[in-house]
């Protein structure tokens, strides 16, 4: 018998298989007496660096702080200066842009490709100005936004490449990055991770990380995240408190070994949707061969999205929208509201995210596809 309800995401269900390991991890921290920093944070940093293929990892408080700290560190190092511009996809979560403006840098919004919904790497030149000193590429929806065009564009202009890898832990780009590996988080000069509970590997609260193979950047980020201090009671920067909580580090250590299985499960669900959704009005996301996305979201495009969504809701299918209002149209960024970004605005009006988490089985995805195929306007 078919189920009657297909929730978009339920974090209790996501974490249930890990409950015993999470409990043990938290108890280890409680017993250790080390509640800031310490061996769980050190071990997590080593394990994430190894999983990413970078020399260094610095655990931090959340994904937004991870991106902020990267930009602030480059400014502290003299590699970027306040007022420099950063190319960023206009179709992204607002945190990408908040990090740029918080550091005193200027976002230059670039269009996304209408089908990949990620940075259109063939159009970078159109948005480039001589003030641009860095690219913040965002692997949105789990799809690597890095290719030979982006790599060559950045290299020929001497731009720093920073990855917003909040949604794409475990994904692989079609070409190797500057460190010789294809893994997202190792492609550019530095990368930011988020372990917000809804991400593919989620903590039980806020958590994030910075990865890099640049020793100076790693030590600058670490100092900035710890009051600007390079050793105890010695402050070289006017820093912050943006440290990773060791309980979250221990929780993440319980989940990180299952990263490959998590990616495979999401790819299997995406493959079911790709095979089974046949409605002529629905544009499905591009699937590469081999599939390199880790499907943080499975995002279809539907004209008349809002009535389609309401209908799915009436059939018990939970959905979400990532994102209905792009950053440059948010009230806090009214100064960018006039930027012409037709592709981004089209996406904001048509994108719809289908369930793709551990709450959804392949049979559920088949049933959801059936429901979608039955839609009539």
Ligand X SMILES: *Cc1c(COP(=O)(O)O)cnc(C)c1O
- Tell me: does residue 211 bind ligand X (CB under 6 A): no
Closest CA to 42 of 24, 27, 29: 29
What is the spatial distance between Cα 94 and Cα 328, in angstroms, rounded to a whole number? Answer: 9
Here's the x/- map for ligand X, 304-323, by CB under 6 A: it reads as --------------------
Task: Point out which span in 90-98, 114-122, 127-135, 274-282 binds ligand X (CB under 6 A).
Answer: 90-98
Task: Characterise 222 by phi-psi region: left (phi > 0), alpha (psi -120 to 50), beta (else).
Answer: alpha
- Tell me: does residue 167 bind ligand X (CB under 6 A): yes
Task: Characterise 315 by phi-psi region: left (phi > 0), alpha (psi -120 to 50), beta (else).
Answer: alpha
Q: Which is nearer to ligand X, 53 or 63 (CB)?
A: 63
- Tell me: does residue 348 bind ligand X (CB under 6 A): no
- Tell me: does residue 247 bind ligand X (CB under 6 A): no
Closest distance of CB 164 from ligand X, Å = 5
- Tell me: does residue 112 bind ligand X (CB under 6 A): no
Binning the chain into helix, strand and coil, the percentages to the nearest 5 are 40, 15, 40
Site for ligand X in 54-83 (CB under 6 A): 62-64
Please identify which residue in 91, 96, 137, 360 interacts with ligand X, judged by CB under 6 A. 96
What is the spatial distance between Cα 191 and Cα 332, in angstroms, rounded to a whole number? Answer: 25
Site for ligand X in 121-150 (CB under 6 A): 138
- Tell me: does residue 95 bind ligand X (CB under 6 A): yes
- Strands 298-301 and 132-138 come out as unpaired
Closest distance of CB 135 from ligand X, Å = 15
Closest distance of CB 112 from ligand X, Å = 13
What is the spatial distance between Cα 91 and Cα 213, in angstroms, rounded to a whole number? Answer: 28
Q: Is 347:117 a contact under the CB 8 Å cutoff?
A: yes
- Tell me: does residue 164 bind ligand X (CB under 6 A): yes
Closest CA to 167 of 137, 123, 212, 190: 137
For residue 278 the two structure tokens come to 């046949």
Task: Name the DSSP letter for residue 117.
Answer: -
Please identify which residue in 80, 85, 160, 166 interacts with ligand X, judged by CB under 6 A. 166
Task: Point out which span in 71-79, 93-101, 267-275, 333-341 binds ligand X (CB under 6 A).
Answer: 93-101
Cα 122 to chain centroid distance, Å, stands at: 22
Bridge partners, 57 (sequence order): 211
Site for ligand X in 176-195 (CB under 6 A): 194
Q: Which is nearer to ligand X, 96 or 308 (CB)?
A: 96
Closest distance of CB 196 from ligand X, Å = 4
- Tell me: does residue 92 bind ligand X (CB under 6 A): yes
Task: Name the DSSP letter for residue 233.
Answer: T
Closest distance of CB 377 from ligand X, Å = 32
Closest residue to ligand X: CB criterion: 63
For residue 268 the two structure tokens come to 């299997």
- Total residues contacting ligand X by CB under 6 A comes to 15
Q: Is 125:153 a contact under the CB 8 Å cutoff?
A: yes
What is the spatial distance between Cα 185 and Cα 67, in angstroms, rounded to a whole number? Answer: 12
Please identify which residue in 53, 208, 285, 326 interacts with ligand X, judged by CB under 6 A. 208
- Tell me: does residue 245 bind ligand X (CB under 6 A): no
Contact positions vs ligand X (CB under 6 A):
62-64, 92-93, 95-96, 138, 164, 166-167, 194, 196, 206, 208
């Amino acid at each position: 018998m078919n189920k009657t309800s297909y929730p978009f995401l339920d974090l209790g269900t996501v974490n249930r298989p890990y409950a015993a390991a999470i409990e043990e991890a938290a108890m280890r921290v409680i017993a250790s007496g080390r509640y800031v920093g310490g061996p769980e944070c050190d071990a997590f940093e080593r394990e994430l660096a190894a999983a990413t293929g970078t020399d260094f990892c610095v655990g931090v408080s959340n994904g937004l702080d991870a991106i902020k700290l990267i930009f602030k560190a480059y400014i502290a190092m003299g590699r970027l200066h306040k007022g420099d511009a950063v190319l960023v996809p206009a179709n992204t979560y607002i945190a990408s842009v908040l990090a740029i403006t918080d550091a005193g840098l200027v976002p230059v919004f670039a269009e996304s490709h209408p089908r990949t919904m990620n940075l259109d790497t063939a159009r970078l030149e159109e948005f480039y100005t001589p003030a641009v000193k860095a690219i913040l590429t965002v692997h949105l929806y789990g799809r690597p936004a890095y290719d030979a065009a982006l790599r060559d564009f950045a290299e020929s202009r001497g731009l720093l490449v920073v990855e917003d890898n909040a949604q794409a832990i475990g994904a692989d780009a079609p070409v190797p990055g500057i460190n010789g590996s294809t893994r997202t988080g190792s492609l550019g000069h530095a990368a930011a991770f988020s372990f917000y509970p809804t991400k593919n590997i989620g903590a039980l609260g806020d958590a994030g990380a910075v990865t890099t193979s640049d020793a100076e950047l790693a030590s600058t980020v670490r100092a900035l995240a710890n009051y600007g201090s390079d050793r105890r009671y010695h402050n070289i920067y006017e820093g912050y408190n943006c440290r990773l909580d060791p309980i979250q580090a221990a929780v993440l250590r319980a989940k990180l070994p299952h990263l490959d299985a998590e990616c495979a499960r999401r790819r299997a669900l995406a493959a079911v949707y790709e095979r089974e959704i046949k409605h002529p009005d629905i544009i499905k996301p591009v699937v590469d061969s081999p599939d390199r996305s880790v499907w943080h979201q499975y995002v279809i495009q539907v004209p008349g999205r809002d009535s389609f969504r309401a209908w799915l809701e009436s059939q018990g299918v939970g959905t979400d929208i990532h994102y209905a209002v792009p950053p440059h149209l948010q009230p806090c960024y009214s100064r960018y509201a006039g930027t012409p970004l037709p592709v981004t605005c089209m996406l904001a009006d048509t994108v719809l995210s289908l369930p793709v988490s551990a709450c959804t089985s392949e049979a559920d995805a088949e049933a959801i596809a059936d429901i979608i195929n039955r839609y009539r306007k």
